Amino acid sequence: MGFGQGLSGLNAAAQELDVIGNNIANAGTVGFKSSSVVFSDVYANSQVGLGVKLAAVNQRFTTGSITNTGNQLDLAIDGMKGLFRVEDPNGNVLYTRNGQFFADENNFIVNAQGQRLTGFGLIGDDMAPLQVPLGNLPPSATTDIATMTNLNANANVVYEQGDTIGLVYASNDSGVTWNQFRYRMDSASGNILSWSNADGSPATLADGNYEFANDASGTGSVGPFVVAGNAVAPADTAAIKSVGETDGIVARPFSTTDANSYTHSLPLTVYDSLGNSHQFIQYFVKRESVGGETAWDVYYAMDGNVTNAAAPHQMRFSESGQLVSGQQNTFTITNVGGLAAPAADLELAFDYDKSTSFSGAFSYTFTPSGFPTGEYAGISIGTDGAVIASYTNGEMRTTGYVALANFNNLNGLKPSGDNAWVETGESGQPIVGRPGTNGLASIKGQAVEDSNVDLSQELVRMIIAQRFYQANAQTIKTQDQIVQNLISMR
């Protein structure tokens, strides 16, 4: 019986040495998980055991060190829970921790065995092999232009018409009471363009006969003149000017070629439906205050052509410099690209919501949408498994997500070679999800997970197994000597 026990010990020691040797041989294998043997004793209705047997070979799924490689498709699982899910050419599903991937001739992400890495699409939970996206990214026309500016509240007012400005006192009760008014008169025609009160608010003179003077005492009064419909006959305006004329206004009708006709300009680039770029400039022009609010006109010019000259967008700011009207504006530009490269109409939505008009320099930030077409430039993998393609136009697009799988009993997986495992009944069904969800580990791109073999530990275990083998061989030798002694007693 002693021979059987020793022989079982020799077999057990040899098997342990096999496992240790396999661990050492794969110390440099990416994603390799070291194994350890589990022994159990053998009894057969006796008080003395019949030896030892191999109960199981367990793999240690502890995490190996992470090594950066710089290869854009290399992946490392940064944690214990998670295995890459791959499919071989026959559609069989395998699981691995080896993240050395590259793109094959069909742009599928594969490993050295040609197994395709699988993952999720952008919508839904269906899994499919992941591909490297190639080809041009379609252009996107500009639709939104968010502009946050500070328009200098101390900037000079820009006037569109050349006017004579006057400050006069008017009386329509034969000089009993004199009220102060300010007027604007067209220098060329002599027409009164507008009246305003002393505080700058618009004024309307009731129809009737008025006298005009230099002060509230009626000094140098002229008239009476007929006021009808808030206007005075041009023939009478020369006399009104004689008592109220001050410095005139130089006309600065808006023009992109006259820097004095606008206060600030803001150039940016917009894109049409074909991806062609166009220079788009917003011109901000300070106007006279209206009802105690600072007024600014906004003109739009694309490729040098003013598109809203007849009806500029107006923004108004309160006495505290906050925008009170004109926060949004929509505008459509037709015939984009002309006959050479006709494109769809540009429908632009402007957002000035956070703009201000404080005392200070003109400042701005803007975020227009839209971009030209772009060629595929490269790919990266996010910690959440997102497959992110980058393009030459600076855009980035998520094309899918790497899938990770976990099992309730990892040691129930069956090694299939090539550093992969297959599902078994003992392992249970895979729990598949995106990295970082449901307890799954995260992903580190451009890196791989090294083998978790501890060479120092394996070498010590080898010495112990060697002693184990020698000791069992010694029991066989001792048993043999006993048998020889028995034989020699005849």
Among candidate residues 142, 143, 209, 202, the one with its CA nearest the CA of residue 170: 209
Residue range 9-23, pLDDT digits in tens: 788 888 888 999 999
pLDDT of residue 447: 96
Within 169-296, residue ranges assigned H as helices are: 234-244
This model's pTM is above 0.75: no
Q: How far apart (Å, rounded) are the C-alpha atoms in residues 168 and 219?
A: 11
**467 and 437 assigned to the same domain:** no
Is there a cis peptide before residue 435, judged by omega within 30 degrees of 0?
no
Are 153 and 277 found together in one domain? yes
26 and 148 assigned to the same domain: no
Q: How far is CA 307 from CA 9, 144, 151, 255, 336, in A?
A: 94, 17, 22, 12, 12
174's enclosing H/E stretch is none
My answer on whether 362 and 398 are in the same domain is no
Same domain? 149 vs 14: no
Confidence band (pLDDT; 50, 70, 90) for 482? Answer: confident
| CA–CA separation, 239 and 237 (whole Å) | 5
- Cα–Cα nearest to 222, from 210, 233, 235: 210
Considering the domain architecture, whether residues 190 and 92 belong to the same structural domain is answered as no
Same structural domain for residues 264 and 364? yes
What is the predicted pLDDT for the residue at 1?
Answer: 52
Q: Is the pLDDT reported for residue 196 higher than 90?
A: no
pLDDT value at position 384? 94
Do 72 and 53 reside in the same domain of the chain?
Answer: no
| Domain edge (last residue) among 192, 213, 248 | 248
411: tokens are 């040691």
Mean of the pLDDT values across residues 147-152?
A: 95
**Is 239 found in the same domain as 190?**
yes
Summarised one tens digit per residue, pLDDT across range 266-286 is 999 999 999 999 999 999 999
The answer to whether residues 32 and 60 touch, using CB atoms and an 8 Å cutoff, is no
Q: Which domain holds residue 42?
A: 2-62+452-488
Q: Same domain, yes or no, for 316 and 168?
A: no
Q: How confident is the model over 291-301, as a mean pLDDT?
A: 93
The yes-or-no verdict on residue 480 having pLDDT over 80 is: no
Q: How many domains does the chain have?
A: 4
Which of 212, 230, 248 represents a domain boundary (last residue)? 248
Whether the predicted pLDDT of 244 surpasses 90: no
For the residues 357-364, what does the mean pLDDT come to?
Answer: 94
- CA-based end-to-end distance of the chain: 22
> How do residues 443-471 score in pLDDT, each as one tens digit?
999 999 999 999 989 899 898 888 888 88
Q: Are residues 151 and 285 in the same domain?
A: yes
Q: Which residue has the higher pLDDT, 371 or 490?
A: 371
pLDDT score, position 474: 82
Contact 362, 156 (CB under 8 A): no
* Range 95-106 average pLDDT: 95
Q: What is the pLDDT of residue 368?
A: 93
Model pLDDT, residue 47: 72
Task: Choose one of 233, 248, 263: the last residue of a domain.
Answer: 248
Same domain membership, residue 102 and residue 215: no
Quick check: bond before 415 cis, omega within 30? no
* Position with higher pLDDT, 433 vs 52: 433
Name the CA dihedral angle for 222, 226, 229, 235, rounded to a multiple of 10 degrees: -70
